Every structure is written in structure tokens, then in C-alpha cells.
């Protein structure tokens, strides 16, 4: 797959990208595209040249697969749930549900039946996507290479497109509930008169509040991506070492990720609940009361 350590690292960090190449484009193998064509990028340069509309097939595929596993797993447990002594799988699911329910009760101060299921979905889904990091770095890319694919990443949360997709969904919910609970006027007033309740400081308040609002999805996405990406790079660097050294470093690093993987899922979930709780707080109504 790669002849040098640099090529090896670049290959393992490249996504399977599907996008459009313009007519006359010279590909990595020297061939020329006769007309604008949607195709799979053969190199990192081709992936970059495909632009904004390119799609990372591996990120989408593994994200959907982990989401399907979550739905099927919890649905199967719900269908056979019993009031008697639960099985191991039912016990695990009940622990997850009760844990998330407790976190939401402590963190969310509004009333919305959507928040607890949303928090559970985010936690389990992100955890499952993160857990793909436990698969040795060469296994899946090696199989993909045998199938003729130029690159293949399996951890969606090491792709900023994946983490930004999640955070963008949360950001849309923040805006939706901010307008729904506070109204357009109430939300606008909150932005204009927080933290300083004086008309002369409205421009300064708007700058601070809008900046703070926009940094919420950025912080969600970059925190998750940064931690997962850094861990992936370390696994790849360990894989470059001699075999007898790999196990000495790989096993402790994998054990360390037993903590990191659920922790990052938990942080993403808690911050989502905190941000949505803030969106449900109508400060104008409280002041009027």
C-alpha cells in the first residue's frame, strides 16, 4: 500500500472520497479526464481538487452502520424486555438508559421529552463510532486495498466532516429551541442585552453573544475530532515500528483508549445537553416574573 513511512501515514489518513473532476483534469496515473466526471479519488491531491461537494464514502458508511447497530440493538432489547431478572444485554441497555436519564435530570433544566432520547442516541452513537479505533489500523485498509480501493478510514470521528456534521445538527436544534422558547424578539433581546443590560453596549453584546453562539458547534466538533485524530495518528506511528515493539506500545495505548473513547462520547453528549438547556432558558420571562 505504501513504500515509505510518509506514504503509509498519508494513506491511512486519507478518506475514500467520491467527487467530481473537471474536464481536462490530469489524474495521478497520468490519464486525462475527457469530460467532467464523478469518480473516486485515487490520491489525496485528487480528493482536494474535488472541492466542497466531494463525499467521504467511508465516513458516511461507517456512521450509518454504527447508527443501524445502535437502533437494532436497543430495539431488539426493548422487544424482549422483561420485568424479571434481566439478561446481560438488557442489563447493559438499562444501565445506559438510567445513566443518561440521571445526567439529563441533573443538567437539563427545561421540559422537553426529546432531550433524554437525543442524549442517549448521541452518547451510544458516538461511542460506537469511536470504538472502531480498537480495530488494528491495518486490518480494514488492507482488506479495502485488496478490493481495489485507494484508501479507507473506518473511524468517522477522526474525520472533521463527521464531527462537524454531528455538531451542526446540535447547532440547528439550539437555534430552533431558542426561537421556539424565547420567540424571535426574546432571543434577539437576549443577544442584544447580555451580558450588559444597556442600549449603548448593544453592538458589543451582539458581538460577544453571536461569537459565543458560533463557537458552540466549533468546540463540539473540534474537541471530538482532535482527540480521536490524535489517537489515530499515534496508532499509525506505532504500526510503523518493528513487530516486537508494536505490542509493547500498542496494548497500553489501546487500554488507555478504553477510557478515552467513552469519555469523549460522554463529553459530547453532556455539552449538547448543556447547550440545549441554555436554549430553553427564557431570561426575559424570568425577569418579567
**Three-class SS of residue 20?**
strand
Q: Tell me whether strands 55-56 and 37-40 are parallel, antiparallel or unpaired.
A: unpaired
Measure the CA–CA gap between 154 and 12, rounded to whole angstroms: 10
| Residue 281, C-alpha cell as written in the block | 432558558
Closest by Cα among 145, 149, 121, 172 to 56: 149
User: Is 91 an active-site residue?
Assistant: no
Of 223, 250, 277, 278, the active-site residue reads: 223
Measure the CA–CA gap between 277 and 177, rounded to whole angstroms: 9
DSSP per residue, 203-259: HHHHHHHHHHHHHHHHHHHHHHHHHHHHHHHHHHHHHTS-HHHHHHHHHHHHHHHHH
User: Is 76 an active-site residue?
Assistant: no
8-state DSSP, 176: H
User: Is 161 an active-site residue?
Assistant: no
Measure the CA–CA gap between 241 and 237, rounded to whole angstroms: 7
Annotated catalytic sites, by residue? 219, 223, 227
Amino acid at each position: 500500500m505504501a513504500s515509505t513511512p510518509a506514504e503509509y501515514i498519508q494513506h491511512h489518513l486519507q478518506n475514500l472520497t467520491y467527487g467530481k473532476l473537471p474536464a481536462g483534469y490530469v489524474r495521478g496515473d497520468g490519464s486525462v479526464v475527457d469530460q467532467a466526471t464523478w469518480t473516486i479519488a485515487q490520491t489525496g491531491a485528487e480528493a482536494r481538487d474535488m472541492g466542497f461537494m466531494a463525499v467521504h464514502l467511508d465516513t458516511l458508511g461507517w456512521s450509518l452502520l454504527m447508527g443501524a447497530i445502535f437502533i437494532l440493538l436497543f430495539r431488539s432489547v426493548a422487544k424482549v424486555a422483561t420485568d424479571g431478572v434481566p439478561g446481560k444485554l438488557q442489563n447493559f441497555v438499562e444501565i445506559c438508559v438510567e445513566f443518561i436519564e440521571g445526567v439529563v435530570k441533573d443538567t437539563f433544566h427545561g421540559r422537553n421529552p426529546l432531550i433524554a432520547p437525543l442524549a442517549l442516541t448521541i452518547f451510544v452513537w458516538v461511542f460506537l463510532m469511536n470504538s472502531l479505533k480498537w480495530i488494528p489500523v491495518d486490518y480494514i485498509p488492507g482488506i479495502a486495498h485488496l478490493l481495489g480501493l485507494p484508501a479507507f478510514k473506518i473511524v468517522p470521528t477522526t474525520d472533521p466532516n463527521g464531527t462537524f456534521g454531528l455538531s451542526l445538527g446540535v447547532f440547528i436544534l439550539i437555534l430552533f429551541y431558542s426561537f421556539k422558547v424565547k420567540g424571535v424578539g426574546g432571543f434577539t433581546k437576549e443577544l442584544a442585552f447580555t451580558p450588559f443590560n444597556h442600549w449603548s453596549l448593544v453592538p458589543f453584546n451582539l458581538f460577544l453573544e453571536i461569537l459565543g453562539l458560533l463557537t458552540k458547534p466549533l468546540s463540539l466538533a473540534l474537541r471530538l475530532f482532535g482527540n480521536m485524530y490524535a489517537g489515530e495518528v499515534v496508532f499509525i506511528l506505532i504500526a510503523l515500528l518493528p513487530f516486537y515493539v508494536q505490542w509493547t506500545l500498542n496494548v497500553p495505548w489501546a487500554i488507555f483508549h478504553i477510557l478515552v473513547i467513552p469519555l469523549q462520547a460522554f463529553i459530547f453528549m453532556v455539552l449538547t445537553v448543556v447547550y440545549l438547556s441554555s436554549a430553553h432558558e427564557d431570561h426575559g420571562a424570568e425577569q418579567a416574573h
